[in-house]
Structure 1
Amino acid sequence: MISSVSLSRRAAIKAVAVLTASSLILTGCARGGDDAASNNDAAGSERIASVGLGDADTLLALGIQPVLIAPWGAEGDVDASGVGPWAKDKLGDNKPATVYGTGTGFTAEILEKISASDPDKIIAVNAAVDAQAKKALNDIAPTTLKPEGTKDWQIPWQDQITQIADAVDKDDEGKQLINETQKTFDDFVAQHKELKGKKAAIVMPYDGKIGLYTSGDGRGQFIENLGFTIPKELEGNKGEFYRDIAPENYSDLNNVDYLFVLDYQGAAETLKKDPTFSKLDVVREGKVRWLEENVGNAMSMPNPLTIPWAVEKFAETI
């Protein structure tokens, strides 16, 4: 993360934010029939395929069981159900089909798997969909994309909920979800007034350096929603969602009250043993909070299920 969490540590830092849809080689994608994934009908009699990362969480929060889910990570790296621990209770015993790799583009193979699920609608809000992929998806079924004017992978969670709720004719439920999700943040702030305005940074170690998430990324926005402030000197260039910090510049992190470190495939344990990092004032003064890998995954896809789950994890570290 969150934010997709991909096959390399470099991609993990980019999380879900800068991947673009790859070129397609597809000449007509037929609707699946007998090969369609077996599942409970969604939204009444409608079959809804969720191919944006984390979009399935919002559908589940709206009471809709997708017939297809696009997991955020590689096959074998994420739960076989296709959803994170924040969504398992909503998924229940349902077993939707899964399609991996949508975060890196909509290839012919991916489109065939989507078509095989025989959807009536496709949700691709948290996804990078170019013109060619848009046409290919719409040839399979009417497709809902990110709201106009928003950037790939940087859709505000409120807009994501609104867009998906409108697509499945659950506008009122969507508004209620937004209010409930915002209340999660508001309750945290109210219960931790001492944290309001405290300087904080959220980072992920990888490849012998640290990636810091700015307020342009969901993870940076997340800690701001909890009441923290990201120092301007850590933000980097305007429009960047993260910036690399090399070991010789680790001291830049000393000027925070809280340093949240997200794990990725054991990278946090490696960082704990790094002598340069260990000597930092922020470490010696006990200002570091270590967060498990799934917290980063959740934060990379802010939605009505990941947000309350991740807020609870943060509350446990304060």
Structure 2
Amino acid sequence: MSPSVRRRPLAAALLASTTCLGLLTACGGSADTGTGSSGSSGSQASAGGGSFPVALTNAWGRTEVKEKPVRVATVSDGDTAIALALGLVPVITPDVEDGDLVAEYKQRAITKLGEKRLRTYDDTDGTDYEAIAAEEPDVILGVNTWDMDTDYAKLSPIAPVVTFADKKQSDTLTWQERLRTAAKALGLTEKADAVIAANEKTLKDAAAAHPEFEGKTYTYSVVHPEQITYMSYADQDPGVFEQLGLVKHPRSKDYSANKNGVSLENLDELESDVLLMTYPFGDEGLLSASELETNKLFRSLDVVKGKHFAVVPSENTLASAIAYPDALSAPWVVENLTPILAKAVAGR
């Protein structure tokens, strides 16, 4: 799936996800983060564990973090999630959620760290360099943004910028790789490993608690303005559904990132043991939830008649959190998704 980049409005985020839906693992394989130190390879490991200075090679040059950072600024929602997951309250973040609509799992983390809300800047016109500079950050996290090509030259004079080693990695790094890259610069590698292990345990425990999920085929589809999109295509990376025990339907091999539209005449393509839909565009989608769910062909599907069909809500950010996983979201996604799956598998 696409990385947890600056979180745009949900509809726009899920529109972008037609080409890359990473669920809880993100698309793309492991990649060299380009993180190193000014010393030998042995000192690179110790630097990542908390020794400074730390030098990081990125797509625009080389950044040196001379001392353990205390004041951290972020330029995307995913970077904010990284800071919070590592136990840091950013000194400033983009107001990607229009002030009041804060994802529940993020608010939980903010509250746990003793804050009510984060200090933000208006990112309507992009990154506010002056607002970031005014907070005098020790480091700026930018490992989850698509705007670094524009931002780097203006951010680097303010503070060391932690970002990816190759421009292509803006789309390909997993949230785990991004977390580890940031953690090396912050001297919090052990904390990052603990966060990753805790998220993995959450998923394993949930799968163990629901053995009925094991081996059930699923189809996940999003109603976009121009089409119904077959999101669970064959070469899509395994994500939260599969980590919980489900498997893609054999028909998924007929779909790909570039061939993922399902016409109203071919709604039987959605047939599976479990069918999951989401409607992030509401009335601006190709058709509304009521229009699809009263469609005669849709109602004739075995999965629908057997009540193995469920809607993944978008209004509470669950669909977005599935599409754009980050270092904070896994426990909350599991908490909210497993009851939906349990009802669908049981036919309730």
Identity fraction in percent: 22
> What is the rounded CA distance, in whole Å, between the counterparts of 1:311 and 1:118 in structure 2?
37
CA shift, 1:59, in A, is 1.4
Q: What TM-score do the two structures reach when normalised by structure 1?
A: 0.75
CA distance in 2, matches of 1:306, 1:203: 21
Residues 10 and 48 of structure 1, relative CA distance in 2, 3 Å threshold: closer
- 2:84 aligned with 1:64, yes or no? no
Q: Structure 1 residues 243 and 70 mapped into 2: Cα distance closer, same or farther (>3 Å)?
A: farther
Task: Write the distance in 1 (CA, Å) between the matches of 2:108 and 2:194.
Answer: 20
Q: 1:314 to 1:119 in 2, by over 3 A?
A: same
Q: CA deviation at 1:158?
A: 1.9
1:6–1:15 contact (8 Å) kept in structure 2? no
* Alpha-carbon separation, structure 2, partners of 1:242 and 1:52: 30
Structure 1 gaps of 5+ residues are 19-42
User: What is the CA–CA distance in structure 2 between the aligned matches of 1:191 and 1:149, rounded to whole Å?
Assistant: 40
- Closer/same/farther in 2, CA of residues 233 and 270 from structure 1, 3 Å limit: same
Q: Which amino acid aligns with 1:179?
A: A
Match 1:98 to one of 120, 125, 128: 120
Equivalent position of 1:246 in the other structure:
263
Mind listing any 5+ residue stretches in structure 2 that lack a counterpart?
Answer: 21-66, 343-348
Listed as ranges, the matches of 1:112-151 within 5 Å are 112-146=130-164, 148=166, 151=169
Q: Confirm or deny that 1:258 pairs with 2:297.
A: no
Per-residue displacement from partner, 1:86-135 (whole Å, max 9, x unpaired)? 02122123433324558xxx84x633443344322111112124544332
Query: Who is 2:16 aligned against?
Result: 14
- Per-residue CA deviation, residues 252-285 of structure 1 (Å, 9 max, x unaligned), is 111x111222242535992233215334332222
Q: Which amino acid aligns with 2:110?
A: L
Against the structure 1 CA distance between its residues 306 and 196, is the aligned structure 2 distance closer, same or farther, given a 3 Å change threshold? same
Q: Aligned match of 1:211 in 229, 234, 252?
A: 229
Q: Distance in 1 between matches of 2:230 and 2:123?
A: 25
Contact 2:216–2:247 under 8 Å retained in 1: yes
Aligned residue pair count: 282
| Match status 1:221 vs 2:244 | no
After TM superposition, list the pairs within 5 Å mapping 1:262-281 onto structure 2.
Answer: 262-266=278-282, 270-274=288-292, 275=295, 276-281=297-302
Q: Distance in 2 between matches of 1:44 and 1:130?
A: 23
Q: Which amino acid aligns with 1:152?
A: S
Deviation of the 1:288 alpha carbon: 1.1
The secondary structure found in structure 2 opposite 1:261 is: strand
- Deviation string 1:26-68 (CA, Å, 9 cap, x unpaired) is xxxxxxxxxxxxxxxxx98622112233221221121100122
- TM-score, reference length from structure 2: 0.69
Structure 1 217/59 Cα, relative in aligned 2: closer, same or farther at 3 Å? farther
Distance 2:270 2:87 in 1: 42
d(CA) in 2 for partners of 1:15 and 1:100?
24
SS of 1:58's equivalent in the other structure is helix
In 1, distance between residues paired with 2:138 and 2:259?
37
SS in 1 for 2:221: strand
Q: Secondary structure at the match of 2:204?
A: helix
- What's the Cα RMSD here? 3.4
Q: Any conservation in 1 of the 2:223–2:281 contact (CA below 8 Å)? A: no
